[in-house]
Chains A and B, each alone.
Chain A
């Protein structure tokens, strides 16, 4: 999204009511972008793994809204919304998903593995949980350099079973580093339900074992996520050490777009669809006295324009040249003449 719409500039001056509408726009933009991505995937214009965050948009929106330039965020595979919230160019993001030269990784890697470090977005690997120690290292740098930034590490309840998550949280706790751990508990690790992953109900319970606070919040309630994130990040900037926010939510799509998710109960899906974060938030805005029908139409038109422009940019962008496959491995290539001629 354009720089002028990022939180720090807009948020500082806008009234609370205006800011609440801005949050709505962001959540709708993420939904619109991801819906288009799913459609492009069905049309074979986006290939490879596509992991929809549909149903979980309130989390990326609410967590990222209080962040500032210079903060470090490591999203996981379902957190496309983080990229948009951090101001990554939607065109480059779409080009990334299409494997184009103008994409974040210049065609080198798929989906969300290409980060944008200028905007503090770190590209993850597929080894879920490996980015948590990295976020801890970023926080260590902020501490060493006396910078007032924080690191935010997104992960799922499935990822929470990895040893890296334990190692990262333990060290963050020992050193009281400014790391916000954000667990998106959508109840499934691919097909494996929560009760086969852990013997407890709340991932947040584990925070106590690392010496910091764990919170649970409805991940489908945008305002609840945002207000909690704002409080927590403020404490962390003041030197309060790490905290864990567990957002209870649900994946509307399968694990990836290839997955019909037939292992899930239909009633369960229905229940969670009725907790869709967007209509829930629209209901709130209506209670606030807004003309939600008019606002929805306006916002839909705006997000459609942004997404359409991104798609056009990406489709018009060239693919990388084949020989670029050997570029970007090292800061500088090995000394010339050190390769055998034959």
Chain B
């Protein structure tokens, strides 16, 4: 039986990972807007200031480029900064520091420099955040060599991937979905564990159709799979990518070849979204095994509008996924 005392939320998993890694390694420190006294806008860094003091829990001015750039400077000298973008939407203000400075650092130093930095980015819609507190900007970064990009969808992965990211010797962008912060709860093992970066996880085995997803839409996909299993008798496989860069191509192709029908789901917009890369990969390497064109379900190609009927219309949800599964299954 699962002990209730061990049940924690997704954001508590993040908080635990930070506490444990800062205790384990004195070179780990956190930096960002309101991460100290306030404990972060979402309380992800709560308790860190009391536990580790002002020198390792650094409140910064509103200056995202500085936050990431200073992280780079500390990281090249052996520190392991975990810097926070208060909302993933603000990561655009640090774009140059991430894609030009951090991502090229090892390359332009001929392999003789490392940037072991984590950029935490609270992302995602469905929280009435409107245009500038709802974004899923992962696709801006998944094409940048030198970066790693992860997007945990479970409580276990939230903790294990953050620990792995902190211990990684390369810059890792860690997209944590805001809607999961307190809605997702799970029993996870106490103590130290990591989730390997670059390895996808099969969340549900199935025979007739594969869904490939990550982050905020995993649970919607699992719900949809349960509905079509019950109502339509469809056997759906669900693959959680967990890491977008480097992509676990083997896992993607394996499930595509197994079921021959693939639905890619993400909350980011359709055009230029990461689903396009998944679809292209499958088309290029598993075309002969397909029984239907790869289908993508994503946010509509517009901004994430504020008014509830607009937001609901734009974003993927369980019902839309169910419809997409049925349509693809009937192909």
In the bound complex, what is the Cα–Cα distance between A108 and B103 (angstroms)? 13
Q: Who on chain B is nearest to A340 by CB?
A: B285
Using Cβ atoms and an 8 Å threshold, which residues of chain A touch B253?
A: 340
- Tell me the bound Cα distance from A313 to B23 in angstroms: 48
User: Given contacts A109-B107, A138-B76, A140-B73, are A168 and B66 in contact (CB under 8 A)?
Assistant: yes
- The residues of B that contact A327 with a CB separation of less than 8 Å are 111
Q: Answer whether residue B248 sits at the interface, using C-beta atoms and an 8 A cutoff.
A: yes
Residues of B within 8 A of A103 (CB): 110
Stretch at the interface among B2-10, B57-65, B124-132: B57-65
Contacts of B230 in A (CB 8 A): none
Q: What's the count of A-B pairs with C-beta under 8 Å?
A: 167
With A127-B100, A339-B249, A340-B250 in contact, do A331 and B169 touch (Cβ < 8 Å)? yes
Q: Is B109 an interface residue (CB 8 A)?
A: yes
Cβ–Cβ < 8 Å partners of A164 in chain B? 65-66, 69, 96-97
- The answer to the question of B227 belonging to the interface, with a C-beta cut-off of 8 Å to chain A, is no
Interface size (A, Cβ < 8 Å)? 54
Inter-chain contact A338/B198, CB cutoff 8 Å? yes
CA distance A111 to B65 in the complex (A): 25
B107–A171 touching, CB < 8 Å: no
Residues of A within 8 A of B284 (CB): 340, 342
- Find residues 121-150 in chain A having any chain B CB closer than 8 Å to their own CB: 122-123, 125-127, 130-141, 143-144
Q: Which residues of B contact A273 (CB under 8 A)?
A: none
Neighbouring B residues of A108 by C-beta, 8 Å: 107-108, 110
Residues A130 and B69 in contact in the complex (CB < 8 Å), given A108-B110, A144-B55, A167-B63: yes
Interface contact A171-B170, CB-CB below 8 Å: no
Nearest Cβ on chain A to B150's Cβ, whole angstroms: 13
Q: What residues of B have a CB within 8 angstroms of the CB of A130 in the complex?
A: 65, 69, 96-97, 100-101
**Within 8 Å CB of A116, what residues of B?**
112
The answer, yes or no, to whether A105 is at the interface (CB within 8 Å) is yes
Complex contacts, A140 vs chain B, CB 8 Å = 58, 70, 73-74
A90 proximity list for chain B (CB < 8 A): none
Using known A-B contacts A115-B113, A134-B70, A338-B198, determine if residue A109 contacts B108 with beta carbons closer than 8 Å. Answer: yes
Residues of A contacting B68 with CB < 8 Å? 133
| Interface residue B106 (Cβ < 8 Å from any Cβ of A) | yes
- Of the A-B pairs whose beta carbons lie under 8 Å apart in the complex, a sample of 25, sorted by A's number, is A72-B73, A104-B109, A108-B107, A109-B104, A113-B108, A115-B109, A117-B76, A133-B73, A136-B66, A136-B70, A137-B74, A140-B73, A140-B74, A141-B74, A141-B78, A144-B56, A170-B63, A170-B66, A332-B169, A334-B198, A334-B246, A338-B198, A338-B248, A339-B249, A340-B285
In the complex, residue of chain A having the shortest beta-carbon distance to the beta carbon of B104: A125
Q: Is B71 an interface residue (CB 8 A)?
A: yes
A143: B residues at CB distance < 8 A:
55
Quote the shortest CB–CB distance from B198 to chain A (angstroms). 6
Give the CA-CA distance A106 to B78 in the complex, in Å: 22
| Interface mask (A300-342 → B, CB under 8 Å = 1, otherwise 0) | 0000000000000000000000000001111110110111101
Q: Which residues of A in the span 159-214 have a Cβ within 8 Å of any Cβ on B?
A: 163-164, 167-168, 170-171, 174
8 more contacts with CB within 8 A, not counting A72-B73, A130-B96, A168-B70, are A104-B112, A109-B107, A116-B112, A133-B65, A133-B72, A134-B101, A141-B77, A144-B55
A138 CA / B100 CA spacing, docked (Å): 18
Which residue on chain A has the smallest CB distance to residue B63? Answer: A167
Closest Cβ neighbor of A132 among chain B residues = B69
B141 to chain A, nearest CB (A): 14
